[in-house]
């Protein structure tokens, strides 16, 4: 069993011993701590919740709901929903916060609580630290008497409200999309994308949709992370059919992956690049992505006269940097698009609407569109170390070894080379260094990653001999 408590929430595998898996007692303690945090931050006694379709979701939702009501909070339950939909609902409901019950791209045995502040954005690192301390202090947990219990309201209208807000965006052109008469295949991994994506496409005027795994029953038919190696079924379907593109989302619908008309990957790094290209053509401005995302975004931003900034990995860090730089579009290279005109959160639904508008106006195939962008390939690796190894010391040694290169240390160590970069980050939960590298060819990116891995192993050997 696995239980991971961090400043961004709690996630784990369902069952097991308290403190070792995601058990009812762990859920109660963490939810109560979040309730205390909401009390401290707001006088409002309302909290919005929603969940993806995984089979443990109803059980977790019942525990979270009852816990918050026992603290005097009124609950607005969106039921089966998406992460961006809950994010939008929190400020519209003028709630003190929100909880999304989803383990995102993790397999079916996992679940998690994603925690939102009153603006519908992920809580800050400072609040996360405070929450962790509260959750461990059983003596501080207190509940209201029966006459002050909160009330419960179920509201399943917010996906429709979310879609309506998307259709109202000036850069979403329903007429252009309708006229193109796209033939689209979708894979929603039997989660809530199966509710939201068909509704969205219908609202955008797309009549010809082939659905794969769109029944929201939580029985994931493949690994739910939308990586090419997990998408063979829809890829084969596109190859044998006559489609303009494929659309794939993860269980909570904050990541968007696209497939070309021949079933090959458009590239999750290029979801943000393509959407940003469309936004920048219509309203030049600044962009943000995290340090592990493709440099293609920086290149198209500079070409359009804007300024690009890199943020530490993590949605909250990207959002903070976007606000700081007044960025008009941003996100992460895992298919996460953040469009502030709608809200500050990764949103596959708005990503789809903007991308289809872009493709419709472009007038050629999706693969031809991909060919318009700088061609880069990312290699993603990790090196496992023994618990006794000082990971920070290793990263510092690598930084020193390449000190003559441009280096960014806001999140691990990112080293720039002439046409490549490599980014090293330590895991917060394991003795692991994640190593991402990018170059014009995958072979070169992998060669660079292997060179850094070799450097790390050499340093580890030297330390063990001291």
Query: What confidence tens digit (pLDDT) does each residue in 261-304 have?
Result: 999 999 999 999 999 999 999 999 999 999 999 999 999 999 99
Distance CA 230, CA 105 (A): 12
Number of domains observed in the structure of the chain: 3
Round to whole Å and give the CA distance between 34 and 127.
9
Say yes or no: 346 and 398 in one domain: no
Q: Using 50, 70 and 90 to split pLDDT, how confident is the model at 9?
A: confident
Q: Is the pLDDT of residue 429 over 70?
A: no
Instruction: Please write the tens of the pLDDT for every residue from 35-47.
Output: 999 999 999 999 9
Percent of the chain with pLDDT over 90: 87
Angle at 114 (CA atoms; ends 94, 201), nearest 5 degrees = 75
**What percent of the chain clears pLDDT 70, i.e. is strictly above it?**
98
Residue numbers of the domain that contains 381: 377-465
E-strand ranges in 333-372 read 336-338
Same domain, 344 and 236: yes
Catalytic, 379? Answer: no
Q: Domain of 318: which CATH number?
A: 3.40.120.10
CATH number of the domain encompassing residue 429: 3.30.310.50
Whether the per-residue pLDDT at 149 is higher than 80: the answer is yes
For residues 246 and 381, state if they share a domain. no
Spot the catalytic one: 61, 70, 104, 292: 104
**Do residues 38 and 13 both lie within one domain?**
yes
77 and 13 part of one domain: yes
Domain boundary residue, one of 156, 178, 206: 156
Paired tokens of 389: 């190894």
- A 10 A CB-CB count for 17 gives 11
Based on the domain organization, do 182 and 111 belong to the same domain?
no
pLDDT at 258: 98
What pTM does this model have? 0.94
Q: What is the mean pLDDT of residues 233-238?
A: 97
Separation of alpha carbons 306 and 321, rounded Å: 15
Q: What is the mean pLDDT of the chain?
A: 94
Residue 461's pLDDT band (cuts 50, 70, 90) = confident
Q: Which of 5, 76, 63, 2 is nearest to 32 (CA)?
A: 63
Out of 347, 370, 393, pick the residue that ends a domain.
370
Q: Are strands 286-290 and 9-13 parallel, antiparallel or unpaired?
A: unpaired
Q: Quote the pLDDT of residue 427.
A: 75
Domain end residue (candidates: 370, 394, 420): 370
Phi/psi at 100 (5° precision)? -105, 125
Identify any residues that bridge with 127 across adjacent strands, giving them in sequence order. Answer: none
Torsion of CA 153, 154, 156, 162, to 10 degrees: 30
The residue written with tokens 């809950």 in the block is 86
With 70 as the cut, is the pLDDT of residue 196 above it?
yes
Q: Identify which has the larger pLDDT, 8 or 409.
A: 409
Over residues 387-396, the mean pLDDT reads 86
């Amino acid at each position: 069993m696995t239980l991971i408590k961090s400043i961004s929430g709690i996630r784990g595998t369902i069952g097991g011993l308290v403190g070792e898996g995601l058990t009812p007692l762990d859920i109660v303690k963490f939810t109560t701590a979040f309730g205390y945090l909401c009390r401290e931050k707001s006088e409002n006694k309302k909290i919005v919740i929603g969940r993806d379709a995984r089979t443990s979701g109803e059980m977790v939702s019942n525990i979270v709901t009852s816990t918050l009501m026992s603290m005097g909070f009124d609950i607005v339950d969106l039921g089966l929903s998406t992460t961006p939909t809950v994010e939008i609902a929190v400020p519209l409901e003028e709630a003190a916060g929100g909880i999304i019950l989803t383990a995102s791209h993790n397999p079916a045995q996992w679940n998690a609580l994603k925690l939102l502040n009153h603006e519908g954005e992920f809580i800050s690192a400072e609040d996360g630290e405070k929450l962790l301390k509260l959750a461990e202090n059983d003596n501080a947990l207190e509940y209201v008497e029966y006459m002050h219990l909160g009330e419960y309201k179920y509201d399943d209208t917010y996906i429709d409200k979310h879609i309506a807000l998307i259709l109202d965006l000036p850069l979403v052109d329903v007429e252009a999309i309708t006229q193109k008469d796209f033939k689209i295949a979708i894979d929603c991994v039997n989660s809530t994308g199966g509710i939201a994506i068909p509704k969205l496409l219908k609202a955008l005027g797309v009549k010809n949709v082939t659905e794969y795994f769109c029944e929201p029953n939580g029985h994931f038919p493949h690994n739910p992370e939308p990586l090419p190696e997990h998408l063979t079924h829809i890829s084969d379907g596109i190859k044998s059919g006559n489609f303009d593109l494929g659309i794939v989302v993860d269980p909570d619908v904050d990541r968007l992956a696209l497939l070309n008309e021949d079933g090959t990957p458009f590239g999750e790094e290029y979801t943000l690049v393509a959407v940003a290209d469309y936004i920048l053509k219509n309203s030049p401005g600044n962009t943000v992505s995290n340090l592990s995302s493709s440099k293609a975004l920086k290149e198209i931003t500079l070409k359009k006269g804007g300024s690009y900034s890199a943020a530490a990995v993590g949605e909250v860090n990207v959002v903070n940097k976007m606000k700081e730089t007044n960025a008009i579009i941003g996100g992460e290279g895992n298919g996460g698009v953040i469009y502030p005109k709608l809200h500050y959160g990764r949103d596959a639904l708005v990503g789809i609407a903007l991308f289809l508008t872009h493709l419709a106006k472009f007038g050629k195939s999706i693969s031809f569109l991909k060919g318009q962008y700088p061609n880069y390939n990312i290699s993603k690796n990790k090196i496992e170390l023994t618990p006794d190894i000082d990971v920070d010391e290793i990263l510092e040694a690598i930084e020193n070894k390449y000190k003559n290169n441009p280096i960014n240390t806001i999140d691990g160590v990112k080293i720039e080379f002439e046409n490549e970069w490599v980014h090293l980050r330590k895991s917060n939960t394991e003795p692991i260094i994640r190593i991402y590298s990018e170059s014009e060819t995958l072979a070169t990116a992998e060669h660079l990653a292997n060179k850094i891995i070799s450097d790390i192993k050499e340093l580890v050997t030297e330390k063990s001999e001291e």
